Amino acid sequence: MSDIHVLAPEVVDQIAAGEVVERPAHLVKELVENSIDAGATRVHVEFFDGGRMVKVIDNGKGMAPGDLPKALERFATSKISKTDDLWKLRTFGFRGEALASIAAVSKLTLTSRRPGDEQAHQLISEYGKKKDIDKVGGSQGTTILIENLFENTPARLKFLKSDAAENTAIKTTLKAMALSHFDVEMRIQENGKLVAFWPACKSRKERVEQILEIKTMFEGEAVRENVRAYAVFADPHNVAKTAKNIWLFAQNRWIQDRSLQAAVNEAYRNLLMHGEYPIAVVWVETDPDCVDVNIHPTKSQVKFQEPSLAFRAVAGALRSTLETAPWVPKMGASSVSPSFGGAAQGGVEFKGTQGLPNFAAMTKPAAMPTENLAFDDSSLKVTQFQKKDFSFPTVNQPKVSYETLAGAAESRQNFVADSADVESFNDPGSEATPASAGYWSSLEVLGQANLTYIVTQNRDKIVFVDQHAAHERVAFERLMSAWKGGKIDIQDFLFPLAIDMSPEKVEAILTLSSDIERLGVHIEALGPGTVGVKAAPLFIKESILSTVLDRMAGEIVEQGGSYSLERAVGDICATMACHSVVRAGQALSIDQMKNLLREMDQFPLSSFCPHGRPVSVEYPFYKLEKDFGRIV
Ligand code: ADP
Ligand code: MG
């Protein structure tokens, strides 16, 4: 007698069930994927008791009565027949094991009707034991009801988390499925209550806005060799406290991927504050044979043949759009911020003033005489642009008590020296910008508040601009573009500046010395644990240089590659910018303020300081009207 025997099919199915349907959310995913594979345009999901009872109704192509029992067999599938097909997957299911696995651990009722059928057919299975097929009433499509999930496998039942946690997992999964299928209507009921209804949309962008409930989102695209990424994302004012609102899809499958998540964060670098996360949905696509999406039935992970291409495509897709700062109101057609669209104000739209809030007509004469609208007067604009006398005062102002910025105390003593640096950022030669009507320079400067904020207005709001943050961004962008264009004033050191770091770091940083040279920093080996700096840009202070080089070396050791260099450059520029620009607590003349605003127009990302803090705060007149009780 042999000890080895082949397992009974029910046992095999139960083992498989443990893998495929670890928790109810996985089961829901399998069922909805089947519906979508069947061409459904409407999917209705109901779940109760943390998913121990689930019903999925679709209007797909249905199944032949004779196929009902087959659908519950292991390795029964209508989707592939040979191994070659495994590499050309277009549909979601392919293993033919989901229904068999689910049937093994539940009471399953399968009802289906094809377009030509006179009525529906129904098959009930209890823990894998199939009953006879019945004729029943039912509309076209397939309905699968799962009850008593895991009741024959108490260990699995115990493994489930709280109903609330399982419900959340189900809803998150369904969100992901809806995101990846914008043209499918989804309706979701939790314990009998409608929790979501997402009608079909026309585009992925529309779907994202619908599901994440954010009115205006932006799109970006990038291709790196055979990897293409498409992203829909919120502007950086609109952030989350966790990474949960970063949704990633590979070949339109929802995935978890740390590297791609890092790529998203990377794109938002210098736009978000610490602890802030972007809201973004990203699709990555490549040739089917360059990605493995079948690593595990439930672990939503993929393996790209060239992970760095995927990383760069994702970062590029976001960055290409972020860099144009599309959320900054465009001048010309309308200067109204998107949140104050005319349609929202009672649905009335006027030809020609489309997009203008109704209150504008009402309040304009009183609150803002037309002659004050400096940005409508082009002759005035030209005169303004002809003045190029902008520079910040080089005299330290004794206004320290107003300083509100962290680290102000230690930077204060740098101030005299710093303000000299400031002038180098205001190279008059580079100021010859054409008089384009940028958003920031279109704002009418009213004055300075608390020696910190530039107070401005336009047709529909008051805008406060943080002078330090704004100037910091301008300086940062200018440094970055100088670096990218290789235009930096270099100072040679008579004696190389010696910076001590670990031999490993020294070796690492020297491998990138030619890249670093583009930064204007010339380095050489002085010893196994010492790097010598022969030359550095004029604007970089020595104290910052050693800190930054050490950090840079550390990053190169950890990650290598040129990406970390760019980041290091960003760090240097951010640090430099922060220490060399106008501070809070410094009096500015109207001309200086106007000049700063004009400079902001040269750099689209001026609405954020390099540390991600917002640069401006808006106070719409609409809100003022409300606060004064003029309107309700
Ligand atoms: P797979 O999806 O991997 O093929 P499943 O066990 O999920 O395996 O489903 C088995 C088969 O049952 C499918 O190949 C399909 O033919 C059929 N099927 C399952 N769900 C549906 C549905 N909602 N509508 C039509 N056919 C379905
Ligand atoms: Mg399937």
CB atoms within 10 A of CB 134: 12
Q: In 6-127, where does DSSP find H-type helix?
A: 9-20, 24-37, 67-71, 98-104
CA distances for 316 relative to 16, 70, 219, 223, angstroms: 40, 46, 12, 8
State in Å: Cα 71 to ligand 1 middle: 6
pLDDT at 538: 77
Instruction: From the CA of 100, give the closest atom in ligand 1.
Output: 6
Q: Which residues line ligand 1 (CB under 6 A)?
A: 30, 34-35, 38, 58, 60, 62-63, 71, 76-79, 93-100, 142
Q: How do 291-292 and 444-449 pair as beta strands?
A: unpaired
- The closest residue, in CA terms, to atom 7 on ligand 1 is 98
Query: Which numbered ligand comes closest to the C-alpha of 108?
Result: 1
CB atoms within 10 A of CB 597: 25
- pLDDT tens-digit profile of 146-177? 999 999 888 888 889 999 999 999 999 999 99
Determine contact, residues 176/254, Cβ cutoff 8 Å.
yes
Tokens of 477: 């962008």
What is the distance between the alpha carbons of residues 312 and 309, in angstroms, rounded to a whole number? 5
Tokens of 297: 């039935």
For the full predicted model, state whether its pTM sits above 0.85: no
pLDDT at 367: 31
Q: What residue ranges of the chain have pLDDT lower than 50? A: 86-94, 333-435
Instruction: From the CA of 30, give the closest atom in ligand 1.
Output: 7
Place of tokens 């330290």: 396
Determine contact, residues 182/41, Cβ cutoff 8 Å.
no
State in Å: Cα 44 to ligand 1 middle: 17
Q: Quick one: CA dihedral 108, 90, 213, 612, positive or negative?
A: positive
State in Å: Cα 27 to ligand 2 middle: 10
What is the distance between the alpha carbons of residues 405 and 407, in angstroms, rounded to a whole number? 6
Q: In 95-135, where does DSSP find H-type helix?
A: 98-104
State in Å: Cα 617 to ligand 2 middle: 50
CA distances for 8 relative to 15, 99, 369, 522, angstroms: 11, 18, 86, 72
What is the distance between the alpha carbons of residues 134 and 362, in angstroms, rounded to a whole number? 69
pLDDT at 76: 65
Determine contact, residues 149/48, Cβ cutoff 8 Å.
no
Query: Which numbered ligand comes closest to the C-alpha of 29?
Result: 2
Q: How many CA atoms lie within 13 A of 407 on its CB side?
A: 7
| Cross-strand partners of 525 | 531
Q: How many CA atoms lie within 13 A of 335 on its CB side?
A: 22
Q: How do 120-126 and 129-136 pair as beta strands?
A: antiparallel
Amino acid (one-letter) located at 208:
V
Query: Which numbered ligand comes closest to the C-alpha of 70?
Result: 1
- The closest residue, in CA terms, to atom 27 on ligand 1 is 34
- The closest residue, in CA terms, to atom 25 on ligand 1 is 62
- The closest residue, in CA terms, to atom 14 on ligand 1 is 77
State in Å: Cα 62 to ligand 1 middle: 9
Instruction: From the CA of 102, give the closest atom in ligand 1.
Output: 6
pLDDT at 564: 60
End-to-end CA distance of the chain: 89
Four-point Cα dihedral 80, 82, 87, 91, nearest 10 = 0
